[in-house]
Amino acid sequence: MIDTLRLTAEDVAGLLERREVSGEELAGAYRAAIDERDDELHAFLHVEGESGDGVPIAHKDVITTKGIPTTAGSRILEGYVPLFDSTVAARTKAAGLPIVGKTNMDEFAMGSSTENSAYGPSRNPWDPTRVPGGSSGGSAVAVAGGLAPWALGSDTGGSTKLPGAFCGLVGLRPTYGTVSRYGIVAFASSLDQVGPITKTVRDCARLYEIIAGKDPCDSTTVDLPQPVEIPAAEDLKGVRIGVPHELNEAQGIEPGVSGAVQKAIRLAEELGAEIGEATLPRSVEYGLPCYYLIAPAEASSNLARYDGVRYGYRAEEDGHALTELYMRTRWEGFGAEPKRRIMLGTYALSAGYYEAYYGQAQKVRTVIKQEFEEAFADFDLLVSPTAPTVAFELGDKADDPIAMYLTDVLTIPPNMAGLPGLSLPCGLSEGLPVGLQLLGPQFSENLLFRAAHALERAIGFDFVPERLRA
Ligand code: GLN
């Protein structure tokens, strides 16, 4: 029996190396798990079921895969089968990782619950009445539900960290520019970054190692200043960890979430970390409003390419003019959230308002970057909850965009500054996983892995959802 719920990617690699299972047996085990559980969970939009010599992987459907449908969770890309691989898909392929399938997501990665998918929501394996977080919800569900050993997601405002937190997994948002965006369906180009969603910190480091590094097809990428180190440390000696009170005492943080995070901070201290109070005076208050000008502005430009001519969906033609074809295709093909963002973004970029909105938001972004730089003058890492709450019920926030946007209030500020962040499960509240957000300066992934690994061992969180344990 291959226990897909329990096996980490490293475990799977070991089984393959020792020839205790074949690639076909593994693919069969994940296929059986999908048959058993994915009708309920809906992690996948497309099951590919490749087998091979490497650890199978699930890709968020925003990741372009040659010959495999790629929809970004949108009707407007229904039927689109790319002719090329994104760089991350090419790199996992070159590393020998077979593709399990493409995972469900909020349409164009716009959302925090996966309820904005045009193909219906995914459900949280810990409690199927609850959301898995978003926008990379399907990737987290696939891993937590034992349907894939590891997965890639993408993170613009928190979309790998949040589903990681809600599903009891590790989610990494890498330093902007360390992972190629070539072939990633674009949402907000100055923020989008692909990252791993895994059961352990070591799996996360291994997957990051495969995908990171300079890519000639994405001029915003750089080579990593140091090679990725697979963490082994069990202590936090000499690591200075700051606790920014604005991030830890923000309005709306549930007591159970705060309690689990405080417990993890005490553990960090016992492991030898130096804990101190930090401050980010304006970043938490202004991060979210700043994001909701910049991200929609970039989205309105990126989404202009869906015209019914070049990709995917095209409205029925009945002799109308070209402009009519564009309008009808976009009206029928986009869901409510992309339409909302296109309108917001177009408004913010329009002549007469550009300086007041987009220009101002860019200035605020610089202030946020400076605040984090000041905090990192005194601390190696910062810590906070990943999200104010645990996974909420499906439908709870679906009709209230502002409430949905607030889910990302703690993940967005570091993203605006281009900084890496890792969400680590740190306990349960109301029987549901709580995420701890660890933040570091640019290119501090190795330190994030080291600290998260030591904490992971000390916390001893069991990533198999309670209701699915044998
Ligand atoms: N929830 C945020 C949004 O809707 C972030 C999503 C993301 O990181 N892709 O924009």
Q: What is residue 318's predicted lDDT score, i.e. its pLDDT?
A: 73
Verify whether ligand 1 is closer than 6 Å to residue 364 (CB atom).
Answer: no
- The minimum-distance atom of ligand 1 relative to the CA of 160 is 8
Verify whether ligand 1 is closer than 6 Å to residue 157 (CB atom).
Answer: yes
Whether 252 shows a pLDDT value over 90: the answer reads yes
CA distance 124 to 133: 8
Q: What is the mean pLDDT of residues 352-361?
A: 94
Digit-coded pLDDT (tens) for 377-411 = 999 999 999 999 999 999 999 999 999 999 999 99
Phi, psi of 162 (to 5 degrees): -65, -50
For residue 111, report the distance from its CA to the centre of ligand 1, in Å: 5
- The minimum-distance atom of ligand 1 relative to the CA of 292 is 10
For residue 162, report the distance from its CA to the centre of ligand 1, in Å: 10
Q: What percent of the chain has pLDDT over 70?
A: 100
CA separation, residue 45 to residues 52, 74, 129, 429 (Å): 21, 11, 20, 30
For residue 126, report the distance from its CA to the centre of ligand 1, in Å: 22
Q: Can you say whether the dihedral through the CA atoms of 389, 394, 399, 405 is positive or negative?
A: positive
Verify whether ligand 1 is closer than 6 Å to residue 56 (CB atom).
Answer: no
Q: How many CB atoms lie within 10 A of CB 134?
A: 33
Q: What is the mean pLDDT of residues 409-432?
A: 98
Q: Hey, what amino acid is at 455?
A: L
Verify whether ligand 1 is closer than 6 Å to residue 110 (CB atom).
Answer: yes
Whether 317 shows a pLDDT value over 90: the answer reads no
For residue 187, report the distance from its CA to the centre of ligand 1, in Å: 9
Give the residue whose CA is nearest to atom 10 of ligand 1. Answer: 110
For residue 158, report the distance from its CA to the centre of ligand 1, in Å: 6
The torsion of the CA quartet 196, 198, 202, 204, rounded to 10 degrees, works out to 0
Query: Best substitution site from 105, 159, 288 to test ligand 1's pocket, by max atoms within 8 Å of Cβ?
Result: 159
Verify whether ligand 1 is closer than 6 Å to residue 337 (CB atom).
Answer: no
Mean pLDDT of the chain, nearest integer: 97
Q: What is residue 470's predicted lDDT score, i.e. its pLDDT?
A: 81
- Residue 59: CB partners within 8 Å, gap ≥ 6? 65, 88, 89, 92, 99, 101, 102, 103, 139, 151, 152
Whether 130 shows a pLDDT value over 80: the answer reads yes
For residue 408, report the distance from its CA to the centre of ligand 1, in Å: 8
Query: Best substitution site from 408, 411, 437 to test ligand 1's pocket, by max atoms within 8 Å of Cβ?
Result: 408
Verify whether ligand 1 is closer than 6 Å to residue 156 (CB atom).
Answer: yes
- The minimum-distance atom of ligand 1 relative to the CA of 158 is 8
Angle at 418 between CA 416 and CA 424, to 5 degrees: 95
Per DSSP, the three-state class of 195 is strand
Q: What is residue 205's predicted lDDT score, i.e. its pLDDT?
A: 99
CA distance 310 to 317: 15
CA distance 5 to 12: 11
- The minimum-distance atom of ligand 1 relative to the CA of 116 is 4
Give the residue whose CA is nearest to atom 5 of ligand 1. Answer: 157
> Which residues are marked as active site?
60, 135, 159
Half-sphere exposure of 216 (CA within 13 A, CB side): 0
Digit-coded pLDDT (tens) for 53-112 = 999 999 999 999 999 999 999 999 999 999 999 999 999 999 999 999 999 999 999 999
